[in-house]
Structure 1
């Protein structure tokens, strides 16, 4: 096993007020009234960092993420120093709570955490139609359609389950990017609690009703962007992707997605078909709704929608800000290649589209 050599902090620690004033980014306010109505999901963290992990989760973070409680804030300060020194023009939050997400997602490797942070902001610049004016009220139609929700009970490993139902969307309803907007807002909310940062999440994708119109609509260019953001541009650990009720054309769909997946992520995809017993071996029935053979009551698509919509002001502060990359010089190896890659990807799609029709 390789050993990560961490850089030591060389710059003086700055107060939170100084850091935020310098970069023009303030922390989203905590709406105690909204939080009180969301007791099934942990509320936002406090403005000043205070560890909320249980002793068991601290032990898990130490073992899986190389996180040492006694070094935690020192590591955050080291990452903060790197940002201020190497990317002084980057308009980003620098508070402990925010930076910890990136350290945990990259197992406290400073260089990889900084790269993830840059990717996180670069994704917004590369895909303005997703990130411009990104707030829950702009995707209410997606939420009302029942395209996604988060199940109210985490699995026995403490992982919340993001339930996607792509068959609910039809290309004539609204642009595909609106689905991506709703997914991204959901991930932003999911990653707030420290337990999610340590435990990760599980995705359950129900492909009931997915046909050729949905399967062929995004294309590989959009698929590549979505995968890139989830895999390399967002500080969350996706521990498993469970696919159920997949149609015959899913083989062609996966052929579009798989080239963009890292091997480790590709191995986390599990296809169950209509076999609920197979699903229950991965997600216990006690946390699943009745629709998926579970014992946790009927699937409620409204609770998560209400939760997101109650956080409108929080997302306005987070996303309706000036371009965080204005004046920033990014490395040549940045993740997102921009629109010039679309031609090549369209050629790839023409080759893969025949697979969709063959499977269909």
Structure 2
């Protein structure tokens, strides 16, 4: 479009019309559509590309992005073993902070693919809640309790899908990824993951040794749950809150028509989208 568009409402209207007229795309919820625009610094053409890429990715990996139900036995069991939460307050820069942590260190209770589904559902629900996304996103993974047996439950298909999502389709502006309480085998984990990570994303990853205080150089201590040195709320309280938010939005999440890219072309089909899951191998 040659005409410069300066008004954000105009830009949103143009993007809404683009989605409406593109029969391959589902109807997109208003706040989610605004997040697409925000991720692209309100560049309409970039937002169009991000939208198409996002829904093509979902349709390429339906076993991860579409086939999910917060009331299913598998996901309920995984939800009992982890915490995926949004900090109630943003940073002074308006950045939103999320935290992922294992609540049960038993590897037999952990399923990587189920954890990935919850991770995606969490972001999908957040993006339709006004105020639940910030200027940028800071994601924290607490690796306390993580063992090689947990890592071995991952598979190449799910890992590839995760990093495609983070690098090509996520609807927040990812600023940093922090790995807390890094185990002694973190190098083995990163050796597996690095082939899937583009250099621009890798530069955003920060590593923190067990019991170190370096995370507070990036996120103020007072924003954390009491268990991490904050002073205003417990992790379990907000964990329960976000589990309930997933359940409250169950119909939105399980409706495949909200997530499919409708195309007869196989041009963008993924060779592993038939449900094949290749396990990881460690030396």
Normalised to the residue count of structure 2, the TM-score between the two structures is 0.83
Match of 1:63 in 2: none
Out of 223, 245, 248, the residue aligned to residue 184 of structure 2 is 248
Gaps of 5+ in 2: none
Q: Which has the higher contact order (CA 8 A, sep 6+)?
A: 2
Rounded Cα–Cα distance in structure 1 between residues aligned with 2:274 and 2:250: 34
Out of 230, 237, 245, the residue aligned to residue 307 of structure 1 is 245
Q: In the TM superposition, what is the alpha-carbon distance from 1:288 to its structure 2 partner?
A: 1.0
Out of 111, 123, 128, the residue aligned to residue 192 of structure 1 is 128
Which of these two proteins has the greater Rg computed from alpha carbons?
A: 1
Measured against aligned partners, the alpha-carbon deviations of 1:162-189 in whole angstroms (never above 9, x if no partner) come to 2112473655336421111111111112
Greater percentage in helix: 1
Match of 1:339 in 2: 272
Q: In the TM superposition, what is the alpha-carbon distance from 1:94 to its structure 2 partner?
A: 5.0
Q: Is residue 163 of structure 2 the alignment partner of residue 227 of structure 1?
A: yes
SS of the residue aligned with 1:134? coil
Change beyond 3 A, Cα 1:123–1:236: same
Measured against aligned partners, the alpha-carbon deviations of 1:13-59 in whole angstroms (never above 9, x if no partner) come to xxxxxxxxxxxxxxxxxxxxxxxxxxxxxxxxxxxxxxxxxxxxxxx
Out of 196, 212, 216, the residue aligned to residue 148 of structure 2 is 212
Rounded Cα–Cα distance in structure 1 between residues aligned with 2:214 and 2:228: 11
Out of 7, 12, 27, the residue aligned to residue 93 of structure 1 is 27
Q: In the TM superposition, what is the alpha-carbon distance from 1:340 to its structure 2 partner?
A: 8.1
Measured against aligned partners, the alpha-carbon deviations of 1:316-360 in whole angstroms (never above 9, x if no partner) come to 4xx343873333547x5x5x73318999x969x65xx32xxxxxx
Rounded Cα–Cα distance in structure 2 between residues aligned with 1:302 and 1:95: 25
Rounded Cα–Cα distance in structure 2 between residues aligned with 1:182 and 1:293: 26
Rounded Cα–Cα distance in structure 2 between residues aligned with 1:129 and 1:284: 37
Match of 1:119 in 2: 53
Measured against aligned partners, the alpha-carbon deviations of 1:229-275 in whole angstroms (never above 9, x if no partner) come to 12211211121111111101111111222232232221111111124
SS of the residue aligned with 1:136? coil
Normalised to the residue count of structure 1, the TM-score between the two structures is 0.67
Aligned-residue CA RMSD (Å):
3.2
Out of 263, 276, 279, the residue aligned to residue 215 of structure 2 is 279
Q: In the TM superposition, what is the alpha-carbon distance from 1:198 to its structure 2 partner?
A: 4.8
Change beyond 3 A, Cα 1:79–1:103: same
Match of 2:42 in 1: 108
Gaps of 5+ in 1: 1-5, 10-66, 355-360
Q: Is the 8 A contact 2:65 2:117 kept in 1?
A: yes
Q: Is the 8 A contact 1:167 1:208 kept in 2?
A: no
Out of 59, 62, 72, the residue aligned to residue 128 of structure 1 is 62
SS of the residue aligned with 1:326? coil
